[in-house]
Structure 1
Amino acid sequence: MQVLKDEIQEKILQSSLELFLQHGFEKTSIEKIAKQAYISKSNLYNYFKSKDEIFEKLTSSAANKFVKIIDQFSTNQFTPKFCEVGFEDMMVTRIFDLINDNRNELLLLMLCSKGTKYEKLKEQLIGQIALKFMQDYKDYFSDNDPIVTIITHNLFDGIINVTVYSQSPKELHFNLHRLIRYHIEGFSALISD
C-alpha cells in the first residue's frame, strides 16, 4: 500500500511541476493539480496541506543549493577569485552542475514563484552579488552604482535564458561558458579603464 501512496505523491508533484511551469504558482489551483494528477481534491489534501507546501517540496532543495553558491561567492570562499585564471571554468562547472541537476526547480524559483516565499529570491541574490562587486571594486564604482545592479541582472537573466533555450546538457555547458566569459570580459574591460 505504501508504494501506491508514494506513486500518488509523486504524481501530485509531477503534475504540480508541469502546471507551475506552464501557468506560474498564482494561476495554478489545487483543483487543477488534482485534476492533472487524476485524484480528488480531498485526496490531494491527504498528501499536502496547501499549494505552498507543494511548491516548497519541489523547490526548497534547489533554492538552498543556489543560495549556498551565492553565499560562497559573496564571502570569498571561491578559489580562484573573480577575473583570476580558472574562475570562468570553476563558475561554469558550479552553475552547470546546479542547473543540470535542478533545471525545472530553478526555473520555478526564477520564473514562476510569484506568490510564494521565494518570489523575491532572485532580487535578493542579485542584490547580494551587486553589493559584493561594489565592495570588491569600490575604486571603480560608487556606492549603489546602478550599472553594477544592471550587469548582475543581465547575468542572472542570461543564465535563466541559457537554461530555458539550451536543448541538451552539452549545449547548456557550451552556452554557460560563453555567457560567463562574456560577463567576465565585459566586467574586466570596465575596471581596466
Structure 2
Amino acid sequence: MGRWSFLQVLKEEIRDKILQIAAQEFLEKGFQSSSTREIAARVNISKGNLYNYFSSKENLFNALLSAFYQEFNSFLKQLWAHETGENFTLENVEWMARTVAEFIQEHRQEFILIMDKSEGTKYAGFKKETITMLQNHFEKNLKAIYKSRSGSETSIMQIIATNFLEALLSISKNCLNNDQVIDNLELYLKYHIQGVTQFY
C-alpha cells in the first residue's frame, strides 16, 4: 500500500470513529447538551482536527441521520401502500409487525436520535411530523365509525398515533439487545394492528 493510500485509509478510519463516538455522545446527552470538544477528546484528536472532517456539530449530526431520514420516509410510504383494510389478514398482520420491527431494530440508533435527541437541529420537528402522518393515515383508512361524533375521530386518532410512536421509541430505548427489540416490537405491533382492525 502506497503512502497516499495508507493516509486515505487512516482518514476514513478517523472519520468513522468520529461518527461512532458522536452517535454515542448524542444518544447519551442529546444534540443540545453534546459538545464537539468532548467528542474530539473521546476520539483522541483535537477539536480543530475534528472540524477538518465535519464543519460543525450540526453537520456531524446530519451525517448520522440524513440517509436514515430519506429511508424512513420511503419505508413508511411502502408500508402504507400495503396496509389497507382488505390486507388485514392474520398473515399480513404478522408480516407488517415483523417488517416494522426489523426495520427499527436495524436502524435503532438513528430512530432514537431523530425522535428523541434532535432538539436544536433541523430534525427537531420530525417526531411531530411523523405523528401527524400516522394520524392522517389512521383517519384515512379507518371506517366512518366516528363520523357521527363530530371531531372525535381526529382527537382519538391523534392519541393513537402519539401512543403508537412513543411505544416504538420506548421499546427501542429500553430493550437490552437486538433480539429483545425484535420480540417486543413485534408483540406490540401485532397488538396494535389487530386492535385497529376492528374499525375496518
Change (3 A) 1:17 1:72: same
Q: Would you say 1:136 and 2:145 are equivalent positions? A: no
Equivalent position SS for 2:89: coil
| Range 164-173 or range 5-14, more displaced | 164-173
Q: Which residue of the partner structure matches residue 172 of structure 2? A: 163
Q: What's the offset of the Cα at 1:118?
A: 1.1
Q: What's the offset of the Cα at 1:187?
A: 2.3
Identity of aligned residues (%): 31
Equivalent position SS for 2:176: coil
Change (3 A) 1:82 1:184: farther
C-alpha offsets along residues 114-150 of structure 1, whole Å, 9 cap, x if unaligned?
A: 1111111111111112112112225123456211111
1:42-191 alignment, distance < 5 Å:
42-74=48-80, 76-78=81-83, 83-142=88-147, 145-189=154-198, 191=199
CA–CA distance in 2 between the matches of 1:80 and 1:18? Answer: 41
Q: Which residue of the partner structure matches residue 8 of structure 1? A: 14
Q: Contact (CA 8 Å) 1:92, 1:176: kept in 2 or not?
A: yes
**The structure with more radius of gyration:** 2
The one-letter code of the counterpart of 2:137 is: K
Equivalent of residue 38 in structure 1, options 18, 36, 44: 44
The one-letter code of the counterpart of 1:107 is: I
TM-score by length of 1: 0.88
CA–CA distance in 1 between the matches of 2:183 and 2:162? Answer: 21
| Range 119-128 or range 135-144, more displaced | 135-144
C-alpha offsets along residues 68-123 of structure 1, whole Å, 9 cap, x if unaligned?
A: 1222244x244785633323222222222222321111111111011111111111
CA–CA distance in 2 between the matches of 1:73 and 1:156? Answer: 15
Q: Contact (CA 8 Å) 2:112, 2:169: kept in 1 or not?
A: yes
Q: Contact (CA 8 Å) 1:70, 1:125: kept in 2 or not?
A: no
User: Stretches of 4+ moved more than 6 A in 1?
Assistant: none
Change (3 A) 1:125 1:103: same
Structure 1: gaps spanning 5 or more residues = none
